[in-house]
Structure 1
């Protein structure tokens, strides 16, 4: 799962572009009828323009909200395309991309991620972005106040003691109520499986027999769900920073334990740079400074900055080592004079688009399978506190599924032995999607290969970490279909140096 970041798609821009964007004709109402060809035109202003001579174009795909009632309500999926820059002989088809979440929109991502892809991939593929249902511009989910989640400063996200635990459970119940009220009859139809079906409708509308796919973080889960349902329509699939084949709540727990391990690495790293950061010369001293800052945020919240915002900053930073310096410097500045600037860059709770992200995140997770019981949520929080008195629980969004109004009976199916070989990529010490997930998922995708970036501690690898070993092997797979003979081991950059 990708940590939430500030996203700026403007709904008003979509309205303004509606007349400029070529819209689909009326969609057929029969389930067996083929999807009409996509018509592409101008994009909303929120979509960045690629560097010349490349261009981006946008369109809409009409799909049923509930596929068991194809004559009923339909929703529109926002789609973008950056055409391949090579010759017709170089073209390999389309490459759908997804940035993660769940909750992350992908229309703009087609432009931003494509710019980072190896040139051979850009020449070979039309890169296709889309906002999955419930996200961005595609029937966005609306959970309203989400049980007070957006209060600033919000309550401490880590309950200690029975009254606090009861208040925490009550807030989860209110969040579930708000999502049911705001999302209405769409609540049961915003699952990953339904998005996978939308992907296949998009494939058909593009006139492609198979689709290439690059999914990062939650995008890996989406890709595995597509492979489970449509294995014969999978082209070349890359799953980067892999979410394992667990229920979302179990995944969240694994992530929270990995964050504890990563935070210990951060403490030791900051201690080795005592002169630079001033937090102490040992991991224990840095931990003590960290805990002082965390207690201060709870005892004296100000200007919207409290313990929830502090933990969000830590969660965001631990997933990418290039953010560690700002986190260490931010803790020092906060302890020195209360300066919070470095502890709240690109706050994920800022703006309507980011609120849509948070809504979609819960709605999708809770639609993907059975949630925990309220008693288990409390028991697991206590277990985490026994591991460490001050864990980071920011990523445990699926706790709200304990109170969900629509309770699915089955988990999302992932992978298929009928799918072609898939390339999985993982950073050895990624705390957001621990490498165990990639190792587990590959069992559901026989013939797949795993590329491991060793000595790396960050989330997101291909066309992200600048590692030639990873990028060259992945480009060869996408362009030429070259599947590594065995799992590939690449050497990463290690921890940041001063």
Structure 2
């Protein structure tokens, strides 16, 4: 465990785990977990890949046993929920419950907290440039003075992270991929079977670059593009604007919501609400930045649309903001850790944008729409970060064909970026859910065409002969 971690980060580790083993082929010995449904262990890995005999950190691992017969057993399936910064320890339980029955019968489901996250040497960036102060400042700079203030806040974020985490440079995706291989080895698995969602797809593609000959069956779901993180974030921000227009149209088609009968009318209502929150934050903490954060989360999953619209209607029509209550960043140790790891890993994975690029991209978004959503532009912090030691790499000519699954209109990991990642993975196949607007596809949206084909690959190794297109669920009622 990193002895330099802060008290706030250490609090994340309040419940001990069992059975740490050194960075070797010694098997993991599992014991009780701090949550029900799994068993847990810890694995020692080098902090720096170049120094295998140097300082070590602990990686926390969980396991949910396969439920089938010995004949059905296929080994271990590592799962990662995304991020960067997402805790995956309990994901073995939560994702395991959603997987098709034949997959659960065939595999031990293995979760883990990636380095820098949760119970694996968690990062803590302190105040993170005031990110955890609510209400936050105006999130969309509209003039030169606001642009300078925006850059100053980004610089403060970077300085807080680098000052609080002397080992921050070691927290990157390629080192996490090496940790994954050590988990595979400690489990006694000759090949890695892997399911990565969102950032987990980026991690899986990085593993393929480092260990192509050790891949078993790999599913990358809701696929991140192979672009520089800042460029991906900007692509996502444009996709969010397109998705927001779809949301406005959907709201307009539901007169019972009483938010407007056309896209423009809904947009006007939305803008008035946001302006009112900027001027007078609800409960003194929920202002424009917090509203944008809620909208960002809403746009990623269509099942969130109606609750958001009903909460917006209650606020617009009666001033009742009770429904506008997302968890604010920094209100607990887990969210503080997530925000710290998210920026640290992104900034350590790819080259930095310049300050001019940051402002230029924000201006371009404002030209596209006067009120863009900048919540997902975490890579802007990297303009003030140290140069990365090792940028992420993806895929290899020596890897076997793998499977990608992608929703056609996913705004969080846009389809065009997923196709660019597919091009980095020789022989891979993609299953696309047409007319699907949500993030997270396999064993999430309950589309039989997607789930059956993916389960057939995981259980029997049957990869589709070509890319497959499945009918999606469309928009909600």
TM-score range, shorter chain: over 0.9
Aligned to 1:492: 472
State how far apart, in whole Å, the 2-side matches of 1:494 and 1:137 are.
38
Aligned to 1:35: 25
Aligned to 1:438: 418
TM-score, length basis structure 2: 0.96
Aligned to 2:376: 395
Larger CA deviation: 94-103 vs 70-79: 70-79
| CA contact 1:156–1:307 (8 Å) conserved in 2 | yes
2:397 to 401, 417, 423: 417
Aligned to 2:253: 272
Aligned to 2:20: 24
The within-5 A match list for 1:269-418 is: 269-274=250-255, 276-303=256-283, 304-404=285-385, 406-408=386-388, 411-418=391-398
Mark the CA change 1:357 to 1:13 in structure 2 (over 3 Å): closer, same or farther: closer
User: Tell me, what secondary structure is at the counterpart of 1:88?
Assistant: coil
Pairwise CA RMSD = 1.5
User: Tell me, what secondary structure is at the counterpart of 1:60?
Assistant: strand
Aligned to 1:230: 211
Larger CA deviation: 317-326 vs 35-44: 35-44
Question: Where do 5+ consecutive residues of structure 1 fail to align?
Answer: 1-8, 29-33, 51-55
Aligned to 2:126: 144
State how far apart, in whole Å, the 2-side matches of 1:317 and 1:496 are.
13
Aligned to 1:180: 162
1:464 to 424, 444, 462: 444
Aligned to 1:135: 117
| CA contact 1:309–1:344 (8 Å) conserved in 2 | no
| CA contact 1:17–1:42 (8 Å) conserved in 2 | no
The within-5 A match list for 1:35-74 is: 35-44=25-34, 47=35, 49-50=36-37, 56-74=38-56
How far does residue 211 in structure 1 lie from its aligned partner after superposition? 1.2
Query: Which deviations, in whole Å up to 9, do the C-alpha atoms of 1:300-354 show, x marking residues without a partner?
Result: 1242101111000100000000000111112212222332232223445431101
User: Tell me, what secondary structure is at the counterpart of 2:323?
Assistant: helix
User: Tell me, what secondary structure is at the counterpart of 2:108?
Assistant: strand
State how far apart, in whole Å, the 1-side matches of 2:263 and 2:447 are.
29
How far does residue 14 in structure 1 lie from its aligned partner after superposition? 4.4
How far does residue 107 in structure 1 lie from its aligned partner after superposition? 0.5
State how far apart, in whole Å, the 1-side matches of 2:11 and 2:374 are.
34
State how far apart, in whole Å, the 2-side matches of 1:341 and 1:222 are.
38
Question: Where do 5+ consecutive residues of structure 2 fail to align?
Answer: 1-7
How far does residue 68 in structure 1 lie from its aligned partner after superposition? 1.5
Aligned to 1:163: 145
Query: Which deviations, in whole Å up to 9, do the C-alpha atoms of 1:369-390 show, x marking residues without a partner?
Result: 1110111101111111000000
State how far apart, in whole Å, the 2-side matches of 1:340 and 1:219 are.
35
How far does residue 11 in structure 1 lie from its aligned partner after superposition? 6.1
Query: Which deviations, in whole Å up to 9, do the C-alpha atoms of 1:149-172 show, x marking residues without a partner?
Result: 111111011111111110000000
State how far apart, in whole Å, the 1-side matches of 2:378 and 2:131 are.
11
Aligned positions, number: 469
Q: Which aligned segments of 4 or more residues in structure 1 are displaced greater than 6 angstroms?
A: none
